[in-house]
């Protein structure tokens, strides 16, 4: 329970000399997303204040029409200004620094607003505290610059790959589009031993690009970025947004007045993937002593609503001020704690869902494909990948005998065939990882209804799961049994093979009817639907993609033409 | 060459961060010290207060003059003593050549809430406040004084603050008023405030005793955020609102006090 008050900063009886004034904040917003996505961020009550003005740099890769659409979507209560001369931003090059520089100049030169602090954020960052809390914090730390800045001559900041080379070498080629030239030219420079020195003996500091700077420091940085020598130096570097402004801040400010951290919460896992915030993360987020967080899943609408609600009312408890900049604990620890809680409860037999593990915390929806024919389900997943390579559509990643992320590749979206041990060690953790893999799209996985697996048993009782049956309508029992037997190895899965054959010959359910039986007997909490029940105008883009992929696959081809044909193939006769 | 430190007394209301000032200046001054609250009856100069309240004020003054003779550094909470006692102390300090370093924290909801809740639950440091927060978050109740009692406390603090402002301003002793907000809640402005204290105390450059980075950490580590406890308990939130209303009423009744001279402002 957190109670709010009308105005925690208004203290009757307190004097109000000039230094009682709360600082004005200029938010420099780097935007690359669609107008609608940027507008969602700007709808936060955080931005609706006379003490705040947003300076928007909208990526020049977005059209003028989109910029105009965004301008129309910015809430009228948000003070804002668009940067007129836009830069086409590309990861790794100087354009991100250039865009930031333009926003800095615009905010500093804006006499109508006169900010005290300038804060760099992006449309992927969401304010998680009320503006009044940020203002009070900045007032209590007046004169301090908030930016991560690590002197790379003393310790390393980059976990792997190039570090000093990023500014010592020249990088005329694009890392993504000209990879071979990029690597070759870097190797050549290393062989030749030609290394550049920063102009004027500038000491290079690395850090995250997000910052909150005092006006004085921001002014100094903006002026220095205009110096031709520095500009040329940074422009020829690689990923200068991780050291250009950081180095200039450290050159302009005394070290004890640089906090060494920024005000934005983010987490990366061991593989360098960012934590994507989902619906279940609200409490975790509020424990973080930061004012912004990135990144919010596009599906996390409830989380967004909760954050907006929290931001709308003034906070009373500012005890987190004492810890700003230090995450309350690694996300992995958070997950580990959640697991421990469940396990300890299971010991006293009060928590029958202990085996749910971290999936007990999951609130993100996901889709499972199943069919009597495993190959059919896999074909639908493959078709989805073919249609849109960005879709996280997996094959049978929970098959007890093997882990197949995608038929056509040994690895897909970072999931490898060799991850079986990891999966079997912590199936719930592995499922959680898969389901949170993509911030924009729901994860799709194939599951075999006939084979007991952690995913099969969990999903049936998980309200966040949608099970889509890919079998065409009108199939007989023998057609399904015959199709299933085509994919079952009589050697490795002898028991299932026998069960299927036996079930095909007698009345009752097939092992492949596991989900249909559960549906018939109402023994499930997940949503189960037939693929052809997905409407053409289905609002859910993932289900829409499943439907389109299924339509592109000749599902009938995976089954015998008729029950009689199936009987012939199964038993060698056509008699009833 | 180090300058000789002057005699110094730190005066403030309770929960104004003056203990931190004492910890900051004490080592730098190097002379004798009797610490915080020396007039508490169990402490070094408790006999002065006991004699003042139970015996003869004249004898108490004699004891006080004798005690101050050594020039020891100390910190005194003026709102823990009677006005008469405080007046005697101010006179004696002026007579003994002491400088008065007043850490002024204006009556505010945060300050009064902190005094009332911390007093009722016997917690005076950040760790104790944190434990109180944990108890509230776990759904436990904590002690809240009756309405009559806290209203009386609010009125007392308000009146005592106003009285002390006038009395300290009229005192013949050298005076430096340092506002709590400037010292602890206005970022790097706290550095300049401490510089002025060092100069007032006759100490050398402050940087020689403590560098900027350490000083900033020190100044910001003392925040207890007691008022934030109200976020976790409807009863405490009601108390906070009650204090707010009471303070507004007192403020409306009397014009705001003239700001004491703030050499650093």
* Beta strand pairing call for A117-122 and A264-265: unpaired
A3 or B103: which carries more pLDDT confidence?
B103
In order of A111, A489, A490, A510, A560, the CA distances from A572 in angstroms are: 89, 20, 18, 20, 14
Q: Which residues of A touch B (CB under 8 A)?
A: 1-5, 8, 11-15, 17, 19-20, 139-144, 254-257, 315-319, 321-322
Residue B30 region by backbone torsions, left for phi larger than 0, else alpha for psi between -120 and 50, else beta: left
The predicted pLDDT at position A271 comes to 55
The answer to whether residue A455 sits within a structural domain is yes
Q: Give the chain B residue whose CA is nearest to the CA of A314.
A: B231
Residue at token pair 């309770």: B14
Please say if the pLDDT value at position A48 is more than 80. yes
User: In terms of Cα–Cα distance, which of A467, A469, A466, A468 is closest to A365?
Assistant: A466
Q: What is the pLDDT of residue A269?
A: 59
* Token couple for A336: 């580990």
Tokens of residue A273, six digits: 């993937």
Strands A292-293 and A126-127: antiparallel
Residue B259 has pLDDT above 50, yes or no: no
**pLDDT of res. B3:** 54
Q: Model confidence at A417, in pLDDT bands (50, 70, 90)?
A: confident
Chain segment A67-76, per-residue pLDDT in tens: 999 999 999 9
Q: What is the mean pLDDT of chain A?
A: 87
- pLDDT for position B261: 37
- The pTM for the full model equals 0.74
Question: Do the chains contact at A319 and B216, CB–CB below 8 Å?
Answer: no
Q: What would the pLDDT profile of A501-541 be if each residue is shown by its tens digit? A: 889 988 889 999 999 999 988 888 999 999 999 998 888 88
Say yes or no to pLDDT of A273 above 80.
no
What is the crossing angle of helices A541-552 and A374-387, to 10°? Answer: 110
User: Nearest CA to A499 among A450, A453, A563?
Assistant: A450
Tokens of A397: 């990643």
Is the Cβ–Cβ distance between A149 and A260 less than 8 Å? yes
Domain presence at residue A367: yes
A211-268 residue pLDDT tens: 999 999 999 999 999 999 999 999 999 999 999 999 999 999 999 999 999 999 987 7
* pLDDT at residue A116, as a whole number: 97
A177 φ/ψ sector (left φ>0, alpha ψ -120 to 50, else beta): alpha
A3 to B237: CB separation less than 8 angstroms, yes or no: yes
* Contact at CB, A317 and B225, closer than 8 angstroms: yes
Average pLDDT of chain B to the nearest whole number:
90
**Residues A84, A491: Cα–Cα separation, whole Å:** 69
In chain B, whose CA is at the least distance from the CA of A22? Answer: B186
Tell me whether B162 touches chain A (CB under 8 Å).
no
8-state DSSP, A412: E
- Cis peptide preceding A295, ω within 30 of 0: yes
Chain Cα centroid distance, residue A234: 29
Rounded to whole angstroms, what are the CA distances from A27 to A82, A94, A108, A228? Answer: 12, 21, 12, 26
The pair of structure tokens assigned to A307 is 């954050």
For the segment A162-209, what is each residue's pLDDT rounded down to a tens digit? 888 999 999 998 887 888 899 899 999 999 988 999 999 999 999 999
Are the Cβ atoms of B259 and A15 closer than 8 angstroms? yes
Encoding tokens for residue B150?
A: 């806290």
The pLDDT of residue A9: 41
Residue A538: inside a domain? yes
- B92-111 in b/e form (b: 16+ CB < 10 A) is bbbebebbbbbbbbbbbbbb
| Coil, strand or helix at B178 | strand
Cα–Cα distance for residue pair A478/A569, rounded to 1 Å: 10
Q: Which residues of B touch A14 (CB under 8 A)?
A: 106-108
Q: Determine the Cα–Cα distance for residues A146 and A260; give it in Å rounded to an integer.
A: 6
Give burial (CB, 10 Å; 0-12/13-18/19+) of B234: exposed
- Cβ separation of B265 and A140 shorter than 8 Å? no
As a whole number of angstroms, the distance between CA A104 and CA A540 comes to 40
**In this predicted model, which residue has the larger pLDDT, A457 or A96?**
A96
Residue A444 lies in a domain: yes
Is A487 or A245 the better-scoring residue by pLDDT?
A245
Q: How far is CA A250 from CA A6, A117, A224, B34, in A?
A: 39, 17, 12, 43
CA–CA dist B13, B75 (Å, integer): 10
Of the pLDDT bands very low, low, confident and very high (cuts 50, 70, 90), residue B265 is: very low
B148, two tokens:
């009559």
The residue written with tokens 């010292």 in the block is B183
B62 touching chain A per CB within 8 A: no
Q: What pLDDT is stored for residue A343 in this prediction?
A: 35
Torsion of CA A495, A501, A505, A506, to 10 degrees: 30
pLDDT band per the 50, 70, 90 thresholds, residue B206: very high
Residue A108 lies in a domain: no
Q: Between β-strands A146-147 and A211-214, what pairing exists: parallel, antiparallel or unpaired?
A: antiparallel
- With beta carbons under 8 A apart, name residues in chain B contacting A117: none
- Lowest-confidence region among A142-146, A151-155, B88-92: A151-155
Length of chain B: 265
CB A19 within 8 A of CB A143: no
Helix segments in A207-281, DSSP class H? 215-225, 228-235, 244-252
| Mean pLDDT, residues A314-343 taken together | 68
Nearest to B106 by CA among B8, B209, B177, B38: B177
Q: What is the DSSP code string of A526-573?
A: SEEEEGGGS-TT-S-HHHHHHHHHHHHS-GGGGS-SSHHHHHHHHHS-
Question: How far separated are the first and last CA of chain A, in Å rounded?
Answer: 67
The bridge status of strand A411-412 relative to strand A366-370 is: unpaired
State the smallest CA–CA distance between residue A264 and chain B in angstroms.
Answer: 20
Q: How many CB pairs under 8 A join A and B?
A: 102
Strand partners, B101: B10, B176
For residue A346, pLDDT over 70 is answered with no
Residues of B in contact with A321 (CB under 8 A): 223, 225
Taking CA–CA distances from A12, the nearest residue in chain B reads B248
Long-range contacts of B187-194 (CB under 8 A, 24+ apart): B187/A139, B187/A140, B187/A141, B187/A142, B187/A143, B187/A144, B188/A142, B188/A143, B188/A144, B188/A257, B188/B216, B189/A19, B189/A142, B189/A143, B190/B215, B190/B216, B190/B219, B191/B215, B191/B216, B192/B264, B193/B264, B194/B24, B194/B219
Structural domain contains residue A137: no
d(CA A53, CA A74): 12
Look up tokens 């002593």; give the residue. Answer: A289
B237 and A318: CB-CB below 8 Å?
no
CB contact under 8 A, A142 and B186: yes
Q: Is B189 on the interface with A (CB under 8 A)?
A: yes
Contact map slice: B 103-122 vs A, CB within 8 A: 106-110
Q: How far apart are CA A440 and CA A442, in angstroms?
A: 7
Confidence category of residue A5, pLDDT binned at 50, 70, 90: very low
In a domain, A513, yes or no: yes
Max distance between CA atoms of chain A, in angstroms, equals: 99
Examine the pLDDT at B27 and tell me if it is beyond 50: yes
Residues A319, B237: C-beta atoms closer than 8 Å: no
Q: Which of A240-249, A266-275, A466-475, B188-197 has the lowest mean pLDDT?
A: A266-275
- Residue identified by tokens 């703030």 is B262
Given a cut of 70, whether residue A286 has pLDDT beyond it is yes
CB–CB of A142 and B211 under 8 A?
no
Separation CA A534–CA A98 (nearest Å): 47
HSE-up (13 A, CA, CB side) for residue B93: 29
Mean pLDDT in residue range B162-176: 95
Q: Quick check: B223 and A2 CB within 8 A?
A: no
In a domain, A352, yes or no: no
Closest CA to A304 of A279, A326, A322: A279
The C-alpha atoms of residue B44 and residue B34 are separated, in whole angstroms, by 7
Q: Using the predicted structure, report yes or no on whether residue A342 has a pLDDT greater than 70.
A: no
Identify the domain containing residue A375 by its residue range.
Answer: 362-571
User: Which tens digit of pLDDT belongs to each residue from A308-327?
Assistant: 999 999 999 999 998 898 87
User: Is residue A329 pLDDT above 70, yes or no?
Assistant: no
Could you give the domains of chain B?
A: 8-253 (3.40.50)
Q: Nearest CB to A11: which of B108, B234, B250?
A: B108
Q: What is the ipTM of this complex?
A: 0.90
């Amino acid at each position: 329970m957190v109670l709010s008050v009308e105005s925690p900063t208004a203290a009757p009886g307190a004097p109000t000399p000039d230094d009682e004034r709360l600082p004005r904040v200029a938010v420099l917003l780097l935007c690359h997303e669609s107008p609608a996505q940027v507008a969602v961020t700007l709808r936060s009550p955080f931005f609706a204040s006379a003490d705040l003005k947003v300076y928007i740099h909208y990526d020049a890769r977005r059209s003028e029409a989109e910029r105009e659409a965004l301008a129309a979507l910015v809430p009228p209560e948000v003070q804002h200004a668009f940067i007129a001369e836009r830069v086409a931003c590309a990861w790794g090059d100087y354009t991100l620094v250039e865009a930031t520089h333009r926003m800095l100049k615009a905010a500093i030169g804006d006499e109508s607003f006169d900010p005290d602090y300038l804060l760099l954020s992006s449309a992927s960052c969401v304010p998680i505290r009320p503006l009044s809390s940020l203002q009070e914090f900045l007032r209590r730390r007046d004169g301090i610059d908030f930016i991560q800045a690590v002197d790379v001559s003393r310790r390393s900041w980059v976990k792997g790959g190039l570090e000093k080379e990023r500014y010592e070498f020249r990088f005329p080629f694009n890392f993504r589009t000209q990879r071979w030239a990029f690597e070759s030219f870097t190797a050549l420079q290393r062989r030749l031993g030609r290394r550049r020195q920063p102009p004027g003996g500038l000491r290079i500091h690395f850090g995250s690009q997000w910052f909150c700077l005092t006006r004085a420091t921001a002014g100094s940085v903006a002026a220095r970025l205009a110096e031709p020598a520095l500009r040329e130096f940074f422009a020829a570097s690689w990923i200068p947004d991780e050291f250009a402004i950081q180095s200039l801040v450290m050159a302009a400010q005394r070290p004890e007045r640089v906090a060494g951290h920024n005000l934005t919460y983010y987490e990366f896992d061991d593989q360098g993937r960012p934590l994507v915030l989902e619906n279940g993360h609200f409490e975790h987020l509020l424990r973080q002593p930061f004012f912004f967080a990135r990144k919010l899943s596009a599906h996390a609408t409830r989380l967004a609503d909760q954050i907006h609600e929290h931001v709308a009312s003034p906070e009373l408890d500012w005890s987190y001020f004492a810890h700003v900049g230090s995450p309350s604990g690694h996300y992995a620890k958070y997950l580990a704690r959640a697991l421990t809680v469940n396990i300890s409860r299971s010991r006293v037999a009060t928590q029958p869902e202990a085996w749910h593990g971290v999936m007990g915390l999951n609130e993100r929806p996901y889709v499972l494909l199943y069919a009597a024919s495993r190959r059919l389900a896999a074909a639908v997943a493959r078709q989805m990948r073919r249609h849109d390579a960005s879709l996280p559509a997996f094959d049978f990643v929970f098959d007890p005998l093997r882990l197949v992320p995608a038929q056509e590749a040994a690895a897909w979206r970072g999931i490898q065939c060799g991850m079986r041990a990891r999966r079997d060690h912590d199936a719930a953790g592995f499922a959680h990882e898969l389901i949170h893999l993509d911030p924009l799209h729901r994860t799709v996985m194939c599951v075999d209804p006939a084979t007991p697996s952690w995913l099969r048993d969990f999903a049936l009782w998980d309200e966040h799961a949608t099970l889509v049956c890919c079998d065409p309508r009108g199939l007989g029992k023998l057609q399904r049994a015959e199709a299933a037997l085509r994919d079952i190895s009589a050697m490795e899965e002898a028991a299932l093979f026998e069960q299927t054959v036996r079930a095909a010959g007698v009345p009752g359910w097939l092992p492949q009817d596991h989900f249909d039986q559960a549906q018939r007997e109402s023994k499930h909490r997940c949503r189960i639907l037939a693929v052809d029940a997905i409407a053409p105008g289905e609002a859910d883009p993932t289900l829409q993609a499943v439907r389109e992929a299924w339509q592109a696959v000749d599902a009938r081809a995976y089954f015998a033409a008729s029950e009689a044909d199936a009987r012939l193939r199964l038993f060698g006769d056509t008699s009833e | 060459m180090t300058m000789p430190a002057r005699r110094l007394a730190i005066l403030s209301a309770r929960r104004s961060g003056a203990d931190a000032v004492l910890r900051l200046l004490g080592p730098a001054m190097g002379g004798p010290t009797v610490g915080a609250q020396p007039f508490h009856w169990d402490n070094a100069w408790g006999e002065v207060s006991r004699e003042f309240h139970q015996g003869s004020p004249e004898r108490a003054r004699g004891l006080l003059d004798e005690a101050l003779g050594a020039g020891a550094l100390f910190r005194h909470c003026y709102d823990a003593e009677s006005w008469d006692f405080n007046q005697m102390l101010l006179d004696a300090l002026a007579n003994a050549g002491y400088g008065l370093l007043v850490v002024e924290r204006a009556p505010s909801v945060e300050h009064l809430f902190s005094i009332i809740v911390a007093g009722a639950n016997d917690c005076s440091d950040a760790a104790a406040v944190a434990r109180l927060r944990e108890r509230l978050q776990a759904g436990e109740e904590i002690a809240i004084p009756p309405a009559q009692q806290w209203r009386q406390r609010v009125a007392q603090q308000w009146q005592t603050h106003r009285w002390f402002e006038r009395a300290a301003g009229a005192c013949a002793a050298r005076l430096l008023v340092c506002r709590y907000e400037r010292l602890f809640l206005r970022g790097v402005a706290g550095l300049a405030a401490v510089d002025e204290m060092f100069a007032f105390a006759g100490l050398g450059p402050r940087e020689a005793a403590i560098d900027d980075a350490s000083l900033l950490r020190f100044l910001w580590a003392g925040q207890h955020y007691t008022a934030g406890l109200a976020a976790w308990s409807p009863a405490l939130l009601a108390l906070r609102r009650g204090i707010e209303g009471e303070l507004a009423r007192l403020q409306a009744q009397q014009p705001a006090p003239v700001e004491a001279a703030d050499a650093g402002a």
